[in-house]
C-alpha cells in the first residue's frame, strides 16, 4: 500500500505560504530538500557563493537548475525558464527553490540582488495564478 503524500502542514513548511520568496532564516537546505520530497515537488538548488557578477549568477543558476542550452543568460530568460518553459512541459506538482549565498558586493549590488529576487517573486505570482506552490528561499553571502 502506498503512503499518501503529506500536506504542507505536516512538513517543515508549516506556516509558510505556498507562493513566497523569503530569507532561508530558520530553515536548513536538507530540511527543504526533504520537504520537497515529502510533498512530491521539484527541488531546485543553486549555491552562488563563487559568483562575482550578474553573468556569473545567471551562469550558475542555469548550470545548477539544468536550464536548456539555449538559455539567454539574462533576467528575462531566467523568468521564462522558471515559468513558461516549465509550464509548457506539463502539469507541475510545485517547487521549492533555494538560492544560497547570493553575492552582496559592489559587482552584484543591492539593485542587482533585488532584480534577481523580483524574478523569483514574479515566478511565485505566475505559479500562484495557476494554483501551483512555488516557495523560494534565499540567503546572502
Per-residue model confidence as pLDDT tens for the chain (141 residues): 444 444 544 567 888 999 999 999 989 999 999 999 999 999 999 999 999 999 999 999 999 999 988 888 899 999 999 998 787 888 899 999 999 999 998 999 999 999 999 999 999 999 999 999 999 999 998
Helices vs strands, H then E, count in the chain:
5, 4
Closest CA to 96 of 17, 25, 10: 17
pLDDT at 57: 97
Domains of the chain in sequence order: 35-140 (3.30.370.10)
CA distances from 4 to 40, 88, 109 (A): 11, 27, 45
pLDDT at 11: 63
Q: Report pTM.
A: 0.89
Question: Hunting for cell 536538507 — which residue is that?
Answer: 30
Closest CA to 67 of 52, 86, 48, 94: 86
pLDDT at 63: 95
Amino acid at each position: 500500500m502506498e503512503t499518501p503524500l503529506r500536506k504542507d502542514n505536516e512538513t517543515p513548511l508549516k506556516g509558510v505560504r505556498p507562493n513566497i520568496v523569503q530569507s532561508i532564516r530558520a530553515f536548513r537546505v536538507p530540511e527543504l530538500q526533504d520537504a520537497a520530497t515529502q510533498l512530491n515537488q521539484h527541488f531546485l538548488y543553486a549555491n552562488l557563493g563563487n559568483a562575482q557578477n550578474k553573468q556569473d549568477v545567471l551562469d550558475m543558476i542555469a548550470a545548477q537548475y539544468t536550464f536548456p542550452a539555449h538559455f539567454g543568460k539574462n533576467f528575462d530568460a531566467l523568468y521564462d525558464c522558471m515559468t513558461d518553459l516549465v509550464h509548457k512541459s506539463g502539469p507541475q506538482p510545485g517547487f521549492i527553490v533555494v538560492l544560497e549565498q547570493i553575492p552582496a558586493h559592489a559587482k552584484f549590488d543591492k539593485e542587482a540582488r533585488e532584480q534577481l529576487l523580483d524574478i523569483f517573486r514574479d515566478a511565485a505570482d505566475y505559479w500562484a495564478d495557476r494554483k501551483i506552490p512555488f516557495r523560494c528561499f534565499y540567503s546572502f553571502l
